[in-house]
Amino acid sequence: MTTTAEIADAVAAELRSGAFTPALAPVRAWMPLYDLGDMVDLHVTVVAAGRVVAPACRGAVQLDHRIEVAVQQKVAVEDPAAVDPVLALVERIAAHLTHQPLASLPQAQWTKTEHAPYVAPEHLHELRQVTSIIAITYRTWEPA
């Protein structure tokens, strides 16, 4: 049985091995919480966010694992030119994970990518930081 946390670890490893500029150093955590003073640096956090179990057939169940990738960085929010590169990176991360098999867990099949919130408005307003969430769903099967 593949756990949702194992899939989150595989997503973090996939992002570490990707050719991103700037290079990513994603960590897996249960919440993307950091000290505000540390947010000048880019943070990519992979979270095992949920799991749905449904019948697949008489002898098996399908498990949909929701993995969230939080991308956060403090920016000059008054300047769209400061926010746009962070969101462009987020879009590249989403594109990289979409339809991409996980090297360490090829049995986990990608099923969908969601990008919401595109930017968390309360973080822009209150914290002066970009927070964007990508939710990727992977599907596995196991005996009932």
Output the pTM of the full model.
0.94
Strand extents, DSSP E, 19-128: 27-28, 43-57, 60-74, 109-115
How buried is 5 (Cβ within 10 angstroms: 0-12 exposed, 13-18 middle, 19+ buried)?
middle
> 69-91: per-residue pLDDT in tens?
999 999 987 788 889 999 999 99
> 17-74: per-residue pLDDT in tens?
999 988 999 999 999 889 988 999 999 999 999 999 999 999 999 999 999 999 999 9
> Which domains occur in the chain, in start order?
4-143 (3.30.2000.10)
3-state secondary structure of 81: helix
pLDDT value, residue 104? 95
Q: For residues 104 and 39, give the distance between their C-alpha atoms in angstroms, rounded to a whole number.
A: 30
